[in-house]
Amino acid sequence: MDSTENISVKNRIIGAVKSAIPTALKTAWWMIRLTVIISLSVTILQYLGVITWLSELLNPLFNLAGLPGESAIVFISGYFVNIYSAVAAASTLNISLRSITILAIMCLCAHNMIIETAVQKKTGSSAVRMVIVRTLGAIVSAFVLNWLLPAEEITNVAKNNISILPLGMVLTDWLTGTALLVLKMFTLIMGLNILQRLLAEFGVIRWLSKLMRPVLIIFGLPAKTSFLWIVVNILGLAYGAAVMIEEREKGKISREDADLLNHHAAMSHSNLEDVALFFSIGASLGWMLIFRWILAIIVVWLRRFELKYISRKPKPEMVAQA
């Protein structure tokens, strides 16, 4: 009897893994192509000085938000590239930890916009809407935090010199960084897809839905998005793309469910690595997490209200349920 049960469990595991691989490979290939093309384009724009030029245009806006005008380069770098670029730019500036915290929250709301917007569009949300929501979220955060954070929290960070590298070295650095990113992306997408299939096969996702229901109700999200919520908040949109896209394409979550999750993710995702990077240069951990969770709650409930108002009737699938 035990031997039969072991064989049955083994077959279920093998079946889940086999069914996950084709979808994971398809999504990984899509993400890798997108990442390589966009990252190379942005790297060239950086080398040509376009990113710096855009940041200079935003200097007056940042001054209005109580930030040094020069700090716009941090936001623009993160906006078009990723958190690594934003942190690297921040480390070259002689600004207070208060400013670092504000910039961190801005970048955490709106970073890697081209790639992550493509993921959100593929899972059912409007690309234009996601760009607007995330950009406005970052800007509003700056003004609100400038009002909330006490001015005496000022400590200088070390200032480093920015060196202009030859194009050959820039492209070499890009190639090395992209190769490592592609390897990491492939591994995580494959692993997450297999994990999701195994959890679904053995009923863990149903258990997670029940366990997470009280939390997700507060966030305004359906309980069926529990596993996706965990993936998005820990690893982020890009790495969670495989699971999100599969759940959406197979109809396991509705377009409305995915859209609500995307509105949440617009304000709060990748709360492990990205947050840790900014924390390492002095940003406040509490402000980075709690403030963005509050933003996410507001954004999702406003979206739910909007959907209900437009349709003029409640959507059953939009209500958290086990």
Show pLDDT as tens, one digit a residue, over the chain (322 residues): 466 666 788 888 888 888 888 888 887 888 788 878 877 887 887 788 887 888 888 888 898 888 988 888 889 989 988 888 888 888 877 888 999 999 999 999 999 999 899 989 988 899 999 999 999 999 999 999 999 987 644 333 334 444 567 888 888 888 888 888 788 878 888 888 888 888 888 888 778 878 888 999 999 999 889 888 988 988 888 777 778 888 888 888 899 999 999 999 999 998 988 999 899 888 999 999 999 999 999 999 999 999 888 755 555 444 444 3
Contact by Cβ (8 Å): 219, 300: yes
Exposure letters 14-50 (e unless 16+ CB within 10 A, then b): eebeeebeebbebbbebbbebbbebbeebbebbbeee
Q: What is the pLDDT of residue 69?
A: 84
**Model confidence pLDDT, tens digit, residues 95-112:** 889 999 999 999 999 999
pLDDT tens digits along 35-93: 788 778 878 877 888 878 888 888 888 988 889 888 888 899 899 888 888 888 888 77
Beta-carbon contacts of residue 240 (< 8 Å; ≥ 6 apart): 192, 228, 231, 232
Q: What is the pTM of this model?
A: 0.80
Q: Which amino acid is residue 185, in one-letter code?
A: M
Classify residue 210 by burial, with Cβ atoms within 10 Å: 0-12, 13-18, 19+.
exposed
Q: How far is CA 214 from the centre of its chain?
A: 23
At residue 218, the pLDDT reads 96
C-alpha to C-alpha distance for 102 and 44, rounded to whole angstroms = 28
Helix-then-strand count for the chain, H and E: 16, 0
pLDDT value for 313: 53
pLDDT of residue 202: 85
From the centroid of its chain, how far is CA 87? 16
**Cβ distance 84 to 277 under 8 Å?**
yes
